[in-house]
């Protein structure tokens, strides 16, 4: 779509003014704000041309204009000047994230809370998912004579644990046998290879120790299976109730956000932005009716060089894209670094 330089300046000004105030923007306001050597009548003509191109809309109760979905898209793709986080802002975010536990879920919960607080939007994230994830470490932590905690760490940063109760006392010899079996059969292997069928095969080779070791090994297989399932984490959804855009569908939107599958489909089906930048889905570009007065910004975080999960924002279409896109991108990069460091440790 071809726009004159003046139309580009006017469209950018209208989008930014509407993001800031939530009020339709009139020609006099634009002349005063831009200091352009043109009359309000000329500006009105340009606004009419932008409306005819589908970039602006005119609420029936106002003489001013508001951006359309296409107007926001043109602004984001061609006109927006992204805000740069200051070194101080970056250090604060770094420090808060690096104090989170090594568990990937807790790191993501912290990141989502920070993002929701920083942006006043809803923040959503997915726990790591990596088809090539392997078993990085297994620990057996005795917590009673016949009870132990089995802990699994994968190469994608997931830490899973589960209590296992055995029929006999957990001895040093029993723990040593468990670690030998893990080292020989599971460390460095894909989590998908740690199956009950594999456990059954091992049990046959254990002879009289089979009954002792089977509960621990079955627990290990169950944990490995849970690492293959991602979880959707949502923080700050109550922030959305503060926007008047949601006055008519707040309950419907809150109910929609409770279900992980639709959001996961948006993440997986939206084409990736180039150069690792966050993807932006605006208004009616969303495939779900409940999100069609919202925008989503989301990016992929990587653990040890592998795309592993998503961190994103949901808010009204008049969200401050220029500030939110770089904020999300920076947090996504830091989440990947923190989780990669945790795996290496």
- Range(s) for CATH 1.10.10.10 in the chain? 5-79
What is the distance between the alpha carbons of residues 103 and 233, in angstroms, rounded to a whole number? 14
- Cα–Cα separations (whole angstroms), residue 262 to 66, 171, 288, 310: 29, 48, 8, 14
- Range(s) for CATH 3.30.390.60 in the chain? 135-226
- Encode pLDDT of 60-77 as tens digits: 766 789 999 999 999 999
pLDDT at 304 over 80: no
* Whether domain 87-129+230-344 has CATH 3.30.450.40: yes
Q: Which range (142-151, 154-163, 217-226, 284-293) has the least confidence?
A: 154-163
- Encode pLDDT of 9-63 as tens digits: 999 999 999 999 999 998 888 888 777 788 888 999 999 999 999 999 988 766 7
155 band by pLDDT with thresholds 50, 70 and 90: confident
What is the distance between the alpha carbons of residues 10 and 90, in angstroms, rounded to a whole number? 32
- Encode pLDDT of 96-116 as tens digits: 887 776 677 888 899 999 999
Pure H helices in 53-171: 69-74, 87-98, 104-119
What is the gyration radius of the CA atoms in the chain, in angstroms? 26
Which overall architecture, per CATH, does domain 135-226 show? 2-Layer Sandwich (3.30)
The CATH fold assigned to 5-79 is Arc Repressor Mutant, subunit A (1.10.10)
Mean pLDDT is highest, among 116-125, 131-140, 269-278, for: 116-125
178 sits in which H/E element: helix 172-185
- Range(s) for CATH 3.30.450.40 in the chain? 87-129+230-344
| In contact, 140 and 216? CB cutoff 8 Å | yes
| Burial (CB count within 10 angstroms: exposed 0-12, middle 13-18, buried 19+), residue 30 | buried
Count of positions (residues) in the chain: 345
322 band by pLDDT with thresholds 50, 70 and 90: very high
pLDDT, residue 165, reads 92
pLDDT at 147 over 90: yes
- pTM, to two decimals: 0.78
| Backbone phi, psi, residue 189, to 5° | -95, 155
């Amino acid at each position: 779509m071809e726009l004159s330089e003046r139309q580009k300046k006017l469209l950018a000004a209208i989008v930014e003014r509407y993001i800031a105030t939530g009020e339709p923007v009139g020609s006099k306001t634009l002349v005063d704000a831009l200091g352009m050597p043109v009359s309000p009548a000329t500006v009105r003509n340009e606004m009419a041309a932008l409306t005819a191109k589908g970039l602006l809309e005119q609420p029936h109760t106002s003489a001013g204009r508001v951006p359309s979905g296409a107007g926001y898209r043109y602004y984001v793709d061609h006109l927006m000047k992204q805000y740069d986080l200051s070194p101080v802002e970056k250090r604060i975010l770094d420090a808060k994230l690096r104090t989170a536990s090594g568990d990937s879920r807790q790191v993501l919960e912290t990141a989502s809370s920070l993002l929701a607080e920083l942006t006043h939007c809803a923040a959503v994230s997915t726990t790591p998912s990596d088809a090539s994830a392997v078993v990085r470490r297994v620990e057996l932590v005795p917590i009673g004579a016949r009870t132990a905690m089995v802990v699994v760490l994968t190469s994608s940063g997931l830490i899973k644990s589960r209590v296992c109760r055995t029929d006999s006392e957990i001895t040093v010899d029993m723990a040593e046998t468990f670690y030998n079996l893990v080292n020989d059969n599971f460390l460095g292997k894909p989590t998908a290879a740690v199956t009950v069928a594999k456990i059954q095969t091992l049990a046959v080779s254990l002879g009289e120790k089979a009954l002792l070791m089977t509960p621990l090994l079955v627990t290990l297989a169950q944990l490995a299976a849970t690492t293959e399932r991602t979880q959707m984490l949502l923080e700050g959804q109550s922030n959305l109730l503060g926007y008047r855009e949601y006055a008519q569908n707040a309950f419907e939107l809150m109910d929609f956000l409770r279900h992980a599958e639709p959001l996961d489909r948006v993440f997986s089906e939206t084409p990736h932005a180039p150069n690792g930048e966050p993807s932006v889905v605006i208004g009616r570009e969303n495939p779900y009716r409940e999100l069609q007065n919202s925008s989503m910004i989301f990016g992929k975080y990587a653990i040890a060089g592998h795309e592993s999960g998503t961190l994103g924002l949901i808010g009204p279409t008049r969200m401050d894209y220029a500030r939110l896109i770089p904020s999300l991108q920076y947090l996504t990069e830091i989440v990947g670094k923190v989780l990669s460091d945790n795996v290496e440790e």
